[in-house]
Structures are given as C-alpha cells and as structure tokens.
Chains A and B, each alone.
Chain A
C-alpha cells in the first residue's frame, strides 16, 4: 500500500495541522509516513502545501505525483492538478472548479455546526478516513489526543459529519505497531534534552525557530532556561558566558544569524569553552528564499570564524539522526572543550519522519567539570590530548577564559613560544576526536552496488527511497564533516566504478571538501538549487540518464 496526498490552501487555513493529523492517524495504524511542508514567507494568504506519503514499508521522503489532493482553495487545484495521478481525485468544497472533484457541500455543514471556516478541514479529514475504511472511533480517539482541549468537541462533530458523507472505498487495516512521528527540529530538541541541556539561547530565524519554540515550551517541566536575546551576537556571547560558568549551552540559528555569530566562534575556540551551535540552513545568499531549503552553508560552517581552529561539524539526515547527532555534539563539545556545529536544513527541520522505535545515544551524559579543582589549577593546562580539565568560577581557584593569546593560567601573552604552544594544544585534540568519531558511524553505507552515490544531510531520505530502483548503487552518507572521516570515504570512492555526488546546492560543496581532503575529484554531480528538496524520482532519472 502506498498513497501520496497533497494538502493545499492559503496560509492560515491549517494545511500543516491537517497534514500532521492525517499523518499521525496513519502512524497510529502502523503505517510509515513522511510529511513535507512547503510554505512561502507570509502569514495569511499565499499558497501553502504539505505532501504526505504513506506506506506499509519504510519511507523517508515525499513524491511529486499525488493520489489525492485535499484542496482548501482553487489555487491548490490550479497549481497541483497536473501532478495528480490518472486514477487520483481531488477532495474539496463543491464550489471548486475541476472535473476530478469529489464534492462536499461544506457551507451548510459549517452553518449547522455554527463552526468557523477552519473546521472545514475536519470535515475533509472525516471524509478521507471513511474513504480509506478506517474505523470511526479509532479516528475520533486520535483526534482527541492530537487536538487536546482545542475545540475538540466541535472538531469531532465535523469529522463525524464528513465521515458520514463518504463512500467506503478501501479497507485499510492496522498494519503494525504504532509509529513515532517526529520532525527534525523536534529531534534536535529531544537530543538536547537528552544531553542534559541547561540553557538554550536564540534569536528567531526560520528554519531554526521550531527548536526555540519546542524547548521554550518545555522549560518549566524539564527545568531548563530558554532565552531570546536582542540579536545573534548577544546570543552566542551570552552562551559563552553561560558555558564558562558551567551551564550546558546550545544556540540555534540559520545562515544570516550564523554569519553574525562567527566572530564569537573564534572566541569559543581560543577560550576552549564547550558550545553547541545548531545551524538550520535555508536558501541564501542573504535573506534569499527564507522558508525554503538548501545545503549551501557547508563550507561556511566548516570555515566559520577567523584564525585557524578545529571544530566538530555534524550533519544529521533525518529526525532520528537529529537526536543522536545532537547528543554526540554535546558529548564531544564538552569532553574536548571544542565548538560543535550541528548543520541541518529546512528540509530535515520541518519534515516529519516516522520510525518504529526511537534510539538514544549510549554516550554518557556527563558535565566534564572537575568536582574539586586543585588550588594550583590552570585553566589552560597543557595535557597529552590537548584537553585541559575544566573548572568553573565559584569553585575555589581562579578560573580564566580569554580571547587573547594566553599562557596556561589564561594570562595574556604575545610571545612566539606560547603562541605556538597554545595553537598546538588546540589542534592536538583533533587526533583524539577523530578516533572517537570513528566509533560514531561518521559515514553510513546503504546498499551493495558497485557504484556510489555520495551525499550528506537532508538528501538522505530521497536517496534511500531511490536505491531500490538503482540496484547497482551504494549510498554513502557523510555525517561528520569535521573532523573529516577521510580514510573511509577515500576507500569507498576507490572501490567504486561510478561515483555520483548529490547535493542541494549549486556547486557541490561536499564534493569540494572531498577533493580538498582526499584529492579525489568527483565529476558527476546531481545538484539542485531551486530551493526545493529532492524527490526520489528526480534522482533516479538523473542517475539513469547520465549513464
């Protein structure tokens, strides 16, 4: 069984909520669901749509051919009808104009229920699930859970009404255990909570904002502090102050905000304070196409900041990975007193993925702060692995952090000897980081073919979903960009016949990094920079065509 449903309407008409709810019900029935969100940067009007792909086998991406279109307005039909499958239909109010419409006379129902326009969605939902042959009580129970307290009574009535109007065409049964349904942003938030985060600081910027909202909603229950400050410069400097004083701290932003933070990333490095930065990419440059996706900040993340310094850059490819990678980012950042950047994008952040189970990282959730620092404590003690044991102000000895060249005590120096020593100290950590990261699946290989697709981040879903059609291909997903898992990647490239790079940007940034680190230049690239994510058919076609 597989269905793709497009749900479209004006901003403010509830397409996202409707789509999420339908997805949730299918997850409750044991189906796998992927939910894609597409919306322009405006609050009311315009055109928003969601694409839900539902299957009894795991799916990680959406498709651009639809079985059903749920239309809240005419524009949805005008824009998407061409992608409706031959046997498909459109569901909506009787006033909509199209030959393929399953009409519902919505106005009289709303009047009778004394319901606002938005309740139309629930009538359509009721209709749809009857069509699929899903048990009504099951549906109503899910509605109660999802719409807790928000006009639940009315919503249920509308669903029942819609249900009564539809024909029962299919008999979709429970196909397995309930699935988790979770977005990448929620994955980042959950990963942070499971790392023992104390403070999250941010300034609103799409598509990082959902993490701010998610954690802000948890702060009392989970006893964390979530702050919105005056700008990103303040955000990251405050975060470093907080980290210095011992809090587990994370900040989140998108490209423009990340640009403002780069000076303080240098500071994080020389002061050797742990800090996790979540960078949710959107389409640039500058304001660009702000609510859409791209993978164009990779080299920016890897190079952000002035001066040379090591950092951790990790790129989750879906929401389960978002949980694990966020935990790893915290763990490594704290253990090595090194900046960690989690690079995601709008596509991972705002898509919902389904899973049978959610995994948590086994890395222990430590603070890496000395219990009783000695009297002769040195803030920047030179050690074998470059990591100085960390103490925080308030513990007896004097604790120092600094943006200046410094000696082991953190006192300012400008001489050549100490400049070299401290630089070497910071870079010593890389070897140890590399070893540690090699145990964290820095690259994942899917499939067995002799040819290779290489990609990172959010393209994972569409590539996984295209693999069954590309039997001669393996897929190498790179999750750690820094330190770069050079050896494995080199080996995989060497033993492959054809190597294809797939990236959501115009120049192939991972390809550049691979070239820089391994000397191997990937010539065959499938690049997409229309601000939209890949779908599997697109990749399949491109790969087959190029042959």
Chain B
C-alpha cells in the first residue's frame, strides 16, 4: 500500500506552502508504513478533527472520520475507542482547539489513558479565525484581538501532558516531516494515550519558521524516555516563548507502559455493534415485584 491511497481528490484550501501539508504527508506515510507492517488495518483507522485550519485534514484523508466541533476532538476519540476497541483512533486538533476550548478534555484524557493518539497542529495562533492569540502564543504576541500584546506566559503542553498522566508525550515539527512521520508511527503503535505537539508555523498569521529552524534540535539517545523526572525537566527546556538563547527539543519526551482505559474495564473486549443481546423483560423487572 502506498501513502497516496490515503489521499483524496478534495480541493485543498490550505494557504500555499502551509506546513500543514507536511503534517498531512507525514501522517499518510506513517499510516502506509503501519498498514504494510501489518501493525494496523486500514479499515479500522478512524480520525477525528476539531475546527480550524488543521481540521481540514479530514477532507484530505481517505479514512473513516468524524469532523467534530471546536475543542471536542478528544471526547469524540474517547467515545469511538470505548465503542469499538478494534479501531485505531487518531485525533487532530489545533492549539486553540485543544488548549483553549478543549483544555479540560486534554487534561482528563491524559489521565484516562485510552489507547488513542492526539496530534496537535500548534501554530501558536487561531488561524482560521484570522490571527488571534491562543494559550501557546508567547507573551507580547500582537494579534488582531490583542493589539496591546499578550500579557501572560504561554501554556506548556508537553509539561502538562506529562504531569497529567499521558503515557506517550512527544514534540514534532511540521518542517521535519521524516522525523514527524517516525513520531506518529511510534505514537500510534503505543498502547495508551499518545500525544504529539506538532510545531506548525502559520505562514500568514504567525510565521515562526525561521526561529524554529534555528533553534530546533532532536532529543538524543541518552534521553531516558521512561524517566519521569528527566522527561519533565526536558519539557521545561523550552517554554514556548521565542527567546534568543533557547533551544527547542523535538522527539519523544516520555513513554511508559501503563494499563490503558480499555484494559481496565471487563466490558471493553468487543465492539458494541457486534454484541448480540438476549433481553428478557420479565427478568429485568423481577426486582420491582
């Protein structure tokens, strides 16, 4: 199977040169690899997306999918997974989507550790609504709704995910598609809640491409992904502000084994739509007599 299989003929309306194209390609490549390696079945792949530029990926992917509401990607993913454990569930969110509107779902899904993968296109801006600040916009960011500049520090999603119990936490870059593809593969293969914050400069409203390219580096092999303290320390290395001296690590920060949500519920063995029920009304109402 080639990665083209996962493409569609829908007209792509992302801005020319948008790094979202890189994410789309990395994702299709990762899926093709995983299907070819028989790690997953194409028919069982299902994606969910929020609302924003990132979410248009729904139309460009030839897989099962649910184009949901702004901020609600994770509940959709969670619901699909508990409904059918055979599905390979992957969510696409924006930083506005996931860290503003959907932050409660993000925190709790880290805790639940259901076997789903969440990919966040983090352009540190609301793009589709034409350039307002999000929770990961840096202090001082001047957007169309914040002409006086953002006054608060950005949220650090990597640190949040680690602290809240995600069992696979990584950062990728939409500009490094090969590396990103590897991360996505690992994330999908991981049993549990996998999260990748993908830095995705928005060429129109927040082009931090040059900064990113200058400051980025790959986590090296000495980084021990199972060590919570080390992972957390690494997550604090970059606080999502554009400072002169900072370095931005990409790669897997944290990866541990923990029972998944599904593994802990005796009922969650079978796809519910395949369950055959014998219902005995007399018996169900016996207790009320």
Contacts and interface: CB of A to CB of B under 8 A. Distances in A.
Interface of A: 27, 178-182, 186, 190, 193-194, 196, 198-199, 201, 219-220, 223-225, 227, 229-231, 233-249, 263-264, 267, 271, 358, 360, 365, 367, 369, 392-396, 398-404, 410-412
A196 B277 contact: yes
Residue of A186, A193, A244, A399 with most partner-chain B CB within 10 A: A244
Given A180-B285, A194-B281, A198-B272, A241 B104 contact: no
A241 B281 contact: no
B79 A240 contact: yes
A243 B69 contact: no
A236 B76 CA distance: 9
Contacts of B190: none
Nearest to A225: B267
Interface string B248-279: 00000000000000000111100111110101
A398 B62 contact: yes
Contact of B284 (A27, A193, A199, A398): A193
A367 B78 CA distance: 21
A193 B84 contact: no
Contacts of B277: 196, 223, 365
A396 B84 contact: no
B79 A238 contact: yes
B232 interface: no
Given A223-B267, A229-B75, A392-B84, A365 B279 contact: yes
Given A229-B78, A245-B273, 13 more contacts: A198-B272, A198-B275, A225-B272, A237-B76, A238-B78, A239-B79, A241-B81, A242-B80, A245-B271, A267-B69, A393-B84, A402-B65, A411-B8
A399 to B, nearest CB: 5
Given A199-B83, A241-B83, A246-B272, A180 B289 contact: yes
Contact of A245 (B75, B83, B284): B83
Interface stretch (B42-50, B154-162, B195-203, B210-218): B42-50
Contacts of B66: 240-241, 244, 271, 400-402
27 contacts: A180-B289, A182-B288, A186-B288, A196-B279, A223-B267, A223-B275, A225-B265, A229-B75, A230-B105, A230-B108, A233-B105, A234-B75, A236-B75, A241-B81, A242-B82, A245-B79, A246-B84, A358-B285, A367-B273, A369-B273, A393-B43, A393-B44, A394-B86, A394-B87, A396-B43, A400-B66, A410-B67
B285 A190 contact: yes
4 A-B pairs with least C-beta separation: A241-B79, A246-B273, A237-B75, A245-B83
B10 interface: yes
A233 B72 contact: yes
Contacts of B77: 241
Given A194-B279, A394-B43, A247 B83 contact: yes
A182 B287 CA distance: 9
B131 interface: no
A453 B246 CA distance: 75
Contacts of B266: 220
A86 to B, nearest CB: 36
B51 A403 contact: yes
B46 A393 contact: yes
Contacts of B8: 411
Contacts of B108: 229-230, 234
A395 B46 CA distance: 11
Contacts of B58: 402, 412
Contacts of B46: 245, 393, 399
Residue of A224, A394, A395 with most partner-chain B CB within 10 A: A394
Contacts of B145: none
A181 B51 CA distance: 48
B76 A227 contact: no
Nearest to A399: B64
Interface string B90-127: 00000000000000110110000000000000000000
A225 B44 contact: no
Nearest to B51: A403
Given A180-B289, A264-B69, A245 B84 contact: yes
B64 A400 contact: yes
A412 B67 contact: yes
A220 B86 CA distance: 21
